[in-house]
Chain A
Amino acid sequence: MPPGLDNLKHIVVLMMENRSFDHMLGSLKAVNPLVDGITAADPYGNPDTTGNVVKPQPLAQFQAQLQPDPDHHFPAVDLQIFGGDTSANRVANMQGFVKSYFNQQQDVGHSQKIMYYFAQNQLPVLTTLALEFAVFNRWFASIPGPTICNRAFAHYGTSFGRVDMNLLYVNEPFQSIYSRLINATPKHTSKLYYYDTTSSTMEVTNLLQNEPQLFGTYDQFLDDCSKGNLPDYSFIEPNYSDHEGDSGEEVANDQHPDHNVQAGELFIASIYKAVKDSPLWPNTALLVVYDEHGGIYDHVVPPACPPDQFTASPNDTGTGMSFAFDRLGVRVPAILISPWIPAGTVVNRVFDHASIPATITKFFLGDYSPRSPRETSADVFIEPDAGQVDPARNLLSLDTMRTDCPDFDV
């Protein structure tokens, strides 16, 4: 067994909000050509409603640029991916982002801002982590739709047929990854950490209502890290709102437009630092990932995937067409962090959020059934802790732990 996997005892997932890969990490192509981002020389662009081609440009701002919140519900994402083609033989082309944003304000100039991305030096935390550890070139949202159904894939490996923000009723037999772990024999430990009770969780319908003991706060996460008490699997939610907290003003750090992107950078750095300064650093892998693209441009066409066992009706999708969960959503940033990962690792295999419960289940529990068809077919980002390990797939591949990992002043 490679020492990185042999030492791995804890997996932490931090899921941020609503930013596409190109928007956050596209600039890295100029630094590392293996990163499938964007440069000025690339032919990518989108037509605006006057017929002019709008190129991606490094003009993104931390706040007050993407107002109103770009539409990322199912019909809008369908337009963004297919450019407005609704024919039977249509081909995804990523040509509808500017059109979609124009629909919200009928302002040609404003609609072009959906193509903007951040320069590398604007996002020192995310870009450093991407360059220093493993960045995924093909991590997609699970559904071409909004937050709740995409986050459901991270918790359950399916959205139980939902493509929208409506209440998600959990159908047996697909258990949450947390229930699988805590009910296993031998037992495993698992926790969801929301930022504070004032921000709370997006997983209300099942987990908070029925199993509130699964939840902790960001402060508890920091404490658990420093004391070496992390559960086997942790899922972290950011702060979803600007609010008065017990210690004063709390700025939303989820990076959901129009929340401040720098606040999210600080938050990511604080999570990384808590893990890195923990006695569990040699035994922990941290995945930073975004739930969906938030309506913001990305140039990579989401691939088809094996269907789930559910079908969303034409009425549910709002497009007049049914959806068999057989295509992934738009590409999002994803970075795997561990002192056993070589700097500059770029992963080209395809992942989506169903890969999260798939990986956690296979690593901690081995074979497990039942799981959704989408989860069963999803790739894993950490190889199972059993049997032969394919060196080409193992990202925690170093023989000795790195001592040159980055530090942030948080």
Chain B
Amino acid sequence: MPLISVPRPSDGAFEPNRPVSALLKAQIEYLHVAERRLPLRYHTDIYINAIKTEGEAAEYIRAVTEAIHDAHADAAARRSRPAKRTGVIEIAAVADERAERRRASKTKSKKRSAQRRSRPSGGKPGAKK
């Protein structure tokens, strides 16, 4: 079968200033709902009621679509990080320190009790006999 020629659109076909269709308006509204559910740092600063042309619609559609992908990618990246091991170690270290302090404190208090028990009654610690 011979190669079939496919005519190209005329030069005037590109018209980004064409008013948005009902379909694009609907797409913008869906994306606006999706945008509002994103964390604030992913929000665009585009006012959707001012979008009148396909070119303007396209800018907004791109911004929110990328924001949705970015938000999910960032969340996935956070999940795949090595589970904040540094933090865990720090917490563990703190816990260890506390335990050590508690152990040390208990040892000291045992020593103090022992000293108190061995101290003659009526006398003050360090008091000269």
B34 to chain A, nearest CB (A): 5
CA distance A21 to B1 in the complex (A): 26
> B1 touching A405 by the CB < 8 A rule?
yes
Which residue of the partner chain, among B4, B14, B24, B72, contacts A128 with CB atoms under 8 Å? B4
Q: Which of A62, A208, A213, A251 contacts B34 (CB 8 A)?
A: A208
- Please indicate the chain B residues that have their CB under 8 angstroms from the CB of A240 in the complex: 23-24, 27
Q: Which of A96-104, A195-203, A278-286, A379-387 contacts its partner?
A: A195-203
B6:A197 contact, CB within 8 angstroms: no
Q: Is B62 an interface residue (CB 8 A)?
A: yes
Interface check A13, CB cutoff 8 A: no
- From B42-50, B63-71, B102-110, B121-129, the one touching the partner chain is B63-71
CA distance A199 to B16 in the complex (A): 12
Cα separation A99 to B33 with both chains bound (whole Å): 36
Chain B positions 1-41 with a Cβ under 8 Å from a chain A Cβ: 1, 3-10, 13-16, 18, 21-24, 26-27, 29-31, 33-34, 37
Q: Which A173-200 residues have a C-beta within 8 angstroms of B? A: 196-200
B58 touches A408 (CB 8 A): no
A199 to B13, Cβ gap below 8 A?
A: no
Residue of B nearest to A168 (CB): B30
- Establish whether residues B5 and A124, one from each chain, have CB atoms under 8 Å apart when the complex forms: yes
Q: Is A266 an interface residue (CB 8 A)?
A: yes
Chain B residue at smallest Cβ distance from A18? B23
Most central of B10, B22, B57, B65 by chain A CB within 10 Å = B65
Question: What chain B residues lie within 8 Å of A213 (beta carbons)?
Answer: 72
Chain A: which residue is nearest B12 at the CB level?
A63
Stretch from A134-142, A254-262, A324-332, A354-362 at the B interface: A254-262
CB pair B61–A200 under 8 Å, yes or no, is: yes
Asked if B4 contacts A251 (CB within 8 A), the reply is no
**Nearest-CB residue, chain B, relative to A129:** B4
Chain A CB within 10 Å, residue with most, of B23, B26, B69: B23
Q: For the complex, give the distance between the alpha carbons of A252 and B18 in Å.
A: 11
User: In whole angstroms, what is the CA distance A209 to B36 when docked?
Assistant: 11
Residues of A near B14 (CB, < 8 A) are 242, 249, 251
Beyond A251-B9, A263-B13, A266-B6, whether A244 also contacts B65 by CB under 8 A is no
Q: How far is the CB of B52 from chain A (nearest CB, A)?
A: 13
A232 within 8 A of B: no
Shortest CB distance B68–A (Å): 6
For residue B26, which residues in chain A have a CB less than 8 angstroms away from its CB? Answer: 147-148, 165, 202
Cβ contact within 8 Å between B65 and A205: no
Chain B residues near A249 (CB, 8 Å)? 14
Chain B residues with Cβ under 8 A from A212's Cβ? 68-69, 72
Q: Which residues of B contact A200 (CB under 8 A)?
A: 27, 31, 61-62, 65
Q: Kindly state whether residue A389 has any CB partner on chain B within 8 Å.
A: no
Residue of B nearest to A69 (CB): B21
- A204 touching B27 by the CB < 8 A rule? yes
Task: Tell me the B residues contacting A by CB distance below 8 Å.
Answer: 1, 3-10, 13-16, 18, 21-24, 26-27, 29-31, 33-34, 37, 54-55, 57-59, 61-62, 65-66, 68-69, 72
**A interface residues, Cβ below 8 angstroms from B:** 17, 62-63, 69, 124-125, 128, 146-148, 165, 167, 196-202, 204-205, 208-209, 212-213, 240-244, 249, 251-252, 256, 258, 260, 262-263, 265-266, 269, 404-410
Per CB-CB distance, the 5 closest pairs between chain A and chain B, nearest first, are A243-B58, A204-B30, A198-B62, A260-B13, A200-B65
